[in-house]
Amino acid sequence: MAALTWSDGLALQQPRMDRTHREFVDLLAAVEARRDAPAAALVPALAEWFPIHAGSMDAGLAQAMQDCGFDPETGEMDKPSAEAEPATGCGSTHCG
């Protein structure tokens, strides 16, 4: 069984981020399948780290993008930065 599999719980509803995250999960599985690869020893730690990273740092970024109306495909924002809500914390329960 793979150390980490893609699930809807990892999705951030940001297509570019979600594609990158799916690619990471797929690459991690490929490395895991090659047990003789030097990087295979890192798989358990990366499989543990990634959901935390996606659910905190990247979730905070996705929320900030949504708050300012940022479209990652065009680079345009619906709200100029003066209208956007100020950022507080990192999106994690570990910081204020």
- In this structure, the number of other CB atoms found within 10 A of the CB of residue 3 comes to 16
pLDDT at 13 over 70: yes
Q: Three-class SS of residue 90?
A: coil
pLDDT for res 22: 97
Q: What average pLDDT does the chain have?
A: 87
pLDDT at 87 over 80: no
Domain residue limits, the chain: 19-68
pLDDT at 44 over 70: yes
Indicate if the alpha-carbon torsion angle 59, 60, 64, 65 is positive or negative: negative
Question: How many angstroms separate the CA atoms of 74 and 14, rounded?
Answer: 13
pLDDT at 63 over 70: yes
